[in-house]
Amino acid sequence: MNKWTKISVELANKSNYLDRLFNVYPTIQEKKRKINSEIIEKINKYFKSKNNIELFLVLIKLELFPIKDSYVAFFKRSPDSIKNNPAQLKRICNRVYDMGLENLLEKIIEPKETNRQIGPMFKNWIKKTTFCIPKLDIDNFDQQKNGIMVASDDQMKNYAKKKLNYTSNKGLDFIAKKEGKHLIGETKFLTDFGGHQNAQFNDAINVFKSGAKNCEVIAILDGIIYLERGKLYNSFLNENKNFPIFSALVLDLYLKEF
């Protein structure tokens, strides 16, 4: 395991890691979703009359469907199939009726899940945090020997493709340079074990396979990955021990020694 990963593991297991990490990923609950009063009236009407088709047609247009069901996505993409599959429509609507009208109305206005909001947080943290090298917008980045680029994921991707032979079509989260040497990276906050989070880890690790040349490549990862008894630690972190993987809280120290 490399030096920077070791520092991150120790930080996560022996310090106020989460309190400090909150500065990077301030997971503040969003406000409840707003739904037009006319839609609410329709839901009330069709729910009380048990009008399966009309109720379902209203619900699948909402940002949040009230229940999780494997067949809903198909219906969303093919509304014409609703009339052709009455048994599945009835089954799903019965689940909705079992919720009760009050719970249904509460469910559809729930705020977005926190873990779906964390994407821009790292870059917001970069903008407001002081580092050992300055922050530069993309127009001024090439004019200086040292700097952290402040730009969108796509702008960073296009820059890396043009300058550093980056071959992936995925946007980048981090580009910097020190004494003219470039550094690119991907960031993730892994909040739990499981399929989606494991995929997030692999997504970050793919930056090392991006074909980039004449630059250092890093993965700035945080969260449950650094728990020494955790599944991610054992099955992923050790398998990628030769890659510079470390916490955002270690970034400035890394840049100082880069």
Q: Are residues 148 and 248 in the same domain?
A: yes
Longest pairwise C-alpha distance within the chain: 71
Q: Are residues 103 and 122 in the same domain?
A: no
Q: Are residues 239 and 160 in the same domain?
A: yes
Q: Are residues 100 and 227 in the same domain?
A: no
* Number of domains making up the chain: 2
Residue 144 has a pLDDT of 95
11 in Cβ contact with 247 (< 8 Å): yes
Positions in the chain short of pLDDT 50: none
Whether 32 is in a domain gets the answer no
Q: Are residues 122 and 64 in the same domain?
A: no
Residue 37 has a pLDDT of 95
Q: What is the pTM of this model?
A: 0.72
Whether 67 is in a domain gets the answer yes
Residue 51 has a pLDDT of 97
At which of 65, 84, 107 does a domain end?
107
**Predicted confidence (pLDDT) per residue in 36-70, tens digit:** 999 999 999 999 999 999 999 999 999 999 999 99
201 in Cβ contact with 221 (< 8 Å): yes
Whether 51 is in a domain gets the answer yes
Residue 15 has a pLDDT of 87
Type of residue found at 28: I
CA–CA dist 192, 14 (Å, integer):
19
Q: Are residues 227 and 246 in the same domain?
A: yes
Residue 31 has a pLDDT of 82
Listed in sequence order, the residues at least 6 apart from 230 whose beta carbon sits closer than 8 Å to its beta carbon are 193, 224
CA–CA dist 251, 248 (Å, integer):
5
Residue 79 has a pLDDT of 87
Using a 10 angstrom Cβ sphere, with 0-12 exposed, 13-18 middle and 19 or more buried, the burial of residue 131 is: middle
215 in Cβ contact with 183 (< 8 Å): yes
At which of 75, 107, 139 does a domain end?
107
CA–CA dist 30, 212 (Å, integer):
37
Listed in sequence order, the residues at least 6 apart from 33 whose beta carbon sits closer than 8 Å to its beta carbon are 63, 64, 108, 109, 110, 111, 112
Q: Are residues 132 and 231 in the same domain?
A: yes
Q: Are residues 140 and 91 in the same domain?
A: no
Q: Are residues 154 and 222 in the same domain?
A: yes
Q: Are residues 22 and 124 in the same domain?
A: yes
At which of 82, 107, 132 does a domain end?
107
Whether 218 is in a domain gets the answer yes
Listed in sequence order, the residues at least 6 apart from 54 whose beta carbon sits closer than 8 Å to its beta carbon are 42, 46
Q: Are residues 96 and 122 in the same domain?
A: no
Whose CA is closest to 173, among 248, 110, 238? 248
Domain that holds residue 249: 3-27+115-257
Residue 55 has a pLDDT of 97
Q: Are residues 250 and 133 in the same domain?
A: yes
Whether 156 is in a domain gets the answer yes
Whole-angstrom Cα Rg for the chain: 23
